[in-house]
């Protein structure tokens, strides 16, 4: 043993602890226990390493879990389109046509969930509160953008609480009169209304309804005044018009078409930019002299706010496919329904914003204040 050999000051727990000289060289042959404080340091160091390893493993697990979730393709369960109005009308017909196409295109069942109530509020609020995952959608019409203007407690914002997907359809309104009224054109009607200001009775389904708004727009554009008579729906309004109890109504083509064809009502003009395929002989309001008059009933598809962009784009693409199906389009056109799609979801959002702004101005001018 070399007595002159000095042990380094650093802890010898990291080095071999006994020595033997061989050929003048010193080599380490056995171990010695570390100092207590060094053992504590090593244990602390190991604990830190174990913590880092555990955190890294957890991160790997989380990444794998997220990757697995993202790999699940949409949709992997039933998709519901909530129709917030009574079934059987144009909104329901268009929603079902779109649902059929979505079912084929998405490879998953898309069903209609009818939740009718006053002003479509129940179904609309339901979709607003649904998870933004693309599995609960909302079928809408003009009512969707008009109700919040008229009702302070509507409970939703059309733009902030929802994500626009696409227009789905347009239905012309048609100005129909009782045949007893001595007019056969829009110009003759305007002339008569100017002779009898405030006397011609216009049947509507209530303040802010499509027929009421169209009549207000028409009256202001033509410079005439009519008397609005409110009904609890389209059916009783049309019945009274046919019976001669009221003189005119702006009605959806689909509702009035049977009465027009049977001669019980007379059609004077439609509110779309082009003539209706169901009434090709009836001119547009613009053709009748009211330049720029355009006020159809529109339908569309919405999702809750926050729905992922890729899901919105997938749904929009399927609506575009549906609108391009010739056989489906022809079948609906015979009923007065024009199946359409927006160029993009963003353009549909801009369309809704314009609808809101224009109606807010008309509502103020006509005194349609919030209740």
Percent of the chain past pLDDT 70, that is, above it, reads: 80
- Find out whether the peptide bond into 121 is cis, omega within 30 degrees of 0: no
Ordered structural domains, the chain, with CATH: 79-170+299-366 (3.40.190.150), 173-270 (3.40.190.10)
Per-residue pLDDT at 133 = 97
Read off the DSSP letter of residue 290.
Answer: -
Contacts with 285 (C-beta within 8 Å, 6 or more apart), sequence order: 175, 186, 218, 269, 270, 271, 293, 294
Per-residue pLDDT at 119 = 83
Q: Quick check: 178 pLDDT over 60?
A: yes
Pairing of strands 248-252, 79-83: unpaired
Q: CA triplet 227, 291, 296: central angle to 5 degrees?
A: 65
Read off the DSSP letter of residue 120.
Answer: G
**Predicted confidence band at 6 (pLDDT cuts at 50, 70, 90)?**
very low
Per-residue pLDDT at 70 = 42
Reference 161, options 357, 370, 303; nearest CA is 303
Tell which wins on pLDDT, 308 or 37.
308
Distance CA 265, CA 244 (A): 10
Q: Quick check: 44 pLDDT over 70?
A: no
The mean predicted confidence, pLDDT, of the chain is: 86
Per-residue pLDDT at 235 = 86
C-alpha distances out from residue 280 to 179, 213, 218, 255, 328, Å:
19, 24, 21, 16, 19
- Kindly report the backbone phi and psi dihedral angles of residue 107, in degrees, each rounded to the nearest multiple of 5, phi listed first: 70, 25
pTM of the model: 0.78
Q: Quick check: 203 pLDDT over 80?
A: yes
Per-residue pLDDT at 234 = 85
Stretch 9-28: mean pLDDT, rounded? 45
- Of 35-49, 155-169, 224-238, the range with the lowest mean pLDDT is 35-49
Asked if residue 271 lies in contact with residue 295, where contact means CB atoms within 8 angstroms, the answer is yes
Per-residue pLDDT at 67 = 41
Contacts with 94 (C-beta within 8 Å, 6 or more apart), sequence order: 139, 168, 169, 299, 332, 337, 339
Point out which residues pair with 113 in neighbouring strands. Answer: 82
Per-residue pLDDT at 66 = 45
Reference 249, options 237, 259, 257; nearest CA is 237
For the stretch 351-360, pLDDT in tens is 999 999 999 9
C-alpha distances out from residue 255 to 6, 47, 79, 328, Å:
108, 78, 30, 20
C-alpha distances out from residue 211 to 117, 172, 198, 200, Å:
19, 11, 17, 15
Distance CA 149, CA 144 (A): 10
For the stretch 47-104, pLDDT in tens is 555 655 555 555 555 544 444 444 369 999 999 999 999 898 899 999 999 999 999 9
For the stretch 225-241, pLDDT in tens is 999 999 988 889 999 99
Distance spanning both ends of the chain, measured CA to CA: 105
Tell which wins on pLDDT, 12 or 232.
232
Torsion from C-alpha of 207, 210, 213, 218, nearest 10 degrees: -140
For the stretch 240-297, pLDDT in tens is 999 999 999 999 999 999 999 999 999 999 999 999 999 999 999 999 999 999 999 9
Distance CA 168, CA 161 (A): 20
Tell which wins on pLDDT, 64 or 128.
128
Per-residue pLDDT at 337 = 94
Q: Quick check: 320 pLDDT over 70?
A: yes
Per-residue pLDDT at 179 = 97
């Amino acid at each position: 043993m070399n007595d002159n050999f000095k042990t380094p000051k650093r802890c010898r727990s990291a080095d071999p602890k006994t020595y033997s000289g061989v050929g003048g060289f010193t080599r380490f042959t056995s171990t010695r226990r570390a100092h207590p404080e060094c053992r504590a340091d090593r244990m602390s160091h190991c604990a830190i390493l174990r913590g880092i390893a555990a955190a890294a493993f957890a991160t790997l697990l989380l990444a794998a879990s997220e990757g697995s979730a993202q790999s699940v393709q949409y949709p992997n369960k039933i998709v519901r389109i909530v129709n917030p109005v009574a079934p059987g009308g144009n909104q329901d017909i268009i929603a079902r046509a779109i649902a059929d196409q979505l079912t084929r295109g998405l490879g998953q069942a898309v069903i209609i969930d009818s939740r009718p109530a006053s002003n479509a509020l129940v179904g609309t609020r339901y979709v607003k509160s649904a998870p933004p995952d693309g599995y609960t959608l909302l079928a809408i019409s003009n009512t969707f953008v008009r109700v919040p203007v008229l009702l302070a407690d509507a409970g939703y914002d059309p733009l902030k609480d929802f994500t626009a997907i696409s227009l789905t359809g347009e239905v012309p309104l048609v100005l129909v009169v009782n045949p007893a009224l001595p007019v056969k054109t829009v110009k003759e009607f305007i002339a008569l209304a100017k002779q009898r200001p405030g006397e011609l009775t216009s049947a509507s389904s209530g303040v802010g309804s499509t027929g009421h708004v169209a009549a207000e727009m028409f009256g202001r554009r033509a410079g005439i005044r009519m008397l609005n008579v409110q009904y609890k729906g389209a059916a009783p309004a049309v019945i009274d018009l046919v019976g001669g109890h009221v003189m005119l109504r702006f009605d959806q083509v689909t509702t009035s078409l049977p009465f027009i064809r049977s001669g019980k009502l007379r059609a004077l003009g439609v509110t779309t930019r082009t003539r209706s395929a169901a009434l090709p002989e009836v001119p547009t309001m613009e053709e009748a002299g009211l330049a720029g008059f355009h006020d159809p009933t529109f339908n569309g598809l919405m999702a809750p706010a926050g729905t992922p962009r890729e899901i919105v784009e997938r749904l929009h693409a399927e609506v575009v496919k549906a609108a391009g199906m010739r056989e489906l389009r022809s079948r609906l056109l015979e009923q007065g329904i024009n199946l359409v799609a927006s160029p993009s979801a963003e353009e549909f959002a801009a369309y809704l914003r314009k609808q809101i702004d224009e109606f807010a101005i008309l509502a103020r001018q006509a005194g349609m204040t919030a209740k």
